[in-house]
Structure 1
Amino acid sequence: MSAQKGKDLLLKIDEDGDGSFTTIAGLRSRRIAFNAEVVDVTDSESAGRWRELLGGAGVQRASLSGSGIFKDAASDAALRQVFFESRVAAFQAVIPDFGRVTGPFQVTALEYGGEHDGEVTFEATLESAGALSFEAI
């Protein structure tokens, strides 16, 4: 896999819930993490006292965080509204030459910043709020 352009990593939202995603931001830096809790079923008869795990029983979750600049005032307003309403909305993270992660997320942190001689930037953290899908691209 060759290097990809960071500008191609996008955050999209489905504001109306109709399945159409619009780009709200190009992320300058980002992090997406997938986690699964384990369920330990080790008992006194476990071979050699090695830990045993129950497959498929733990809770899975994803966390997406990033910083960047908004595409326009409308996209800023859309993310801000979802945050202040504490609403779960459908989001899509497009990761170049990797895939699309789509599903319900809640915006759990939203920060704004900027230098006196530069543009306004934002940082946001989204936590999964349901089943996610992955589509390779």
Structure 2
Amino acid sequence: MAAQKGKDLLLKLDEAGDGSFATIAGLRARKLSFNAETVDITDTESAGRWRELLGGAGVSRASLSGSGIFKDAGSDATLRSIFFAGRIAAFEAVIPDFGRVSGPFQVTALEYAGEHNGEVTFDVALESAGALRFDGI
């Protein structure tokens, strides 16, 4: 895979819950992380006392994060209301030349910052809240 433009990694929201995703805000930095817990089943009879893991038994999760500027008051209000309501909403991450990851996420952090001579920026963090779907390109 050739190098990709960071601006092409998009974070989208399905606000209405009808399957139509729209890009949220003007994200300048975005990140998608996948993690899986391990289940250690090592015992006294493990070969060479090497750790043994139970495949497919741990909890999987995904984290989405981004920072940037809101494109309008509406996108700010939407994300803010999802956060304060503790609502689970459908988000989608578009990864160029890889695919789309979508599913339920909860907004777990929302931070605002600003410099005296600059614009107001925000940071947002989301955690998966159910099964995710991957659609490859």
TM over 0.5: yes
1:35: Cα distance to partner? 0.7
Equivalent residues, number: 137
Aligned partner of 1:66 in structure 2 is 66
Q: Which amino acid aligns with 1:61?
A: R
Q: Which amino acid aligns with 1:130?
A: G
- Cα distance in 1 for residues equivalent to 2:119 and 2:96: 25
Aligned partner of 1:105 in structure 2 is 105
Please give the per-residue CA displacement for 1:15-43, whole angstroms capped at 9, x wherever unaligned: 12111111112321122211100111111
8 A Cα contact 1:40 1:54, kept in partner: yes
- Cα distance in 1 for residues equivalent to 2:125 and 2:76: 14
- Cα distance in 1 for residues equivalent to 2:2 and 2:45: 49
Aligned partner of 2:81 in structure 1 is 81
Aligned partner of 2:19 in structure 1 is 19
Across the aligned residues of Structure 1 and Structure 2, the Cα RMSD in angstroms comes to 1.5
Please give the per-residue CA displacement for 1:46-93, whole angstroms capped at 9, x wherever unaligned: 112111111000000111111012232211111111000000100011
8 A Cα contact 1:61 1:127, kept in partner: yes
Q: Secondary structure at the match of 1:7?
A: helix
1:13: Cα distance to partner? 0.8
Q: Secondary structure at the match of 1:116?
A: coil
Please state if 1:55 is matched with 2:51: no
8 A Cα contact 1:38 1:57, kept in partner: yes
Question: Can you give the 5+ residue segments of structure 1 that lack an aligned partner in the other structure?
Answer: none
1:107: Cα distance to partner? 0.3
Tell me the percent identity.
Answer: 79
- Cα distance in 2 for residues equivalent to 1:24 and 1:103: 15
1:12: Cα distance to partner? 1.0
- TM score, norm. by length of structure 1: 0.91
- TM score, norm. by length of structure 2: 0.91
In the TM superposition, structure 1's runs of 4+ consecutive aligned residues that sit over 3 Å from their partners are none
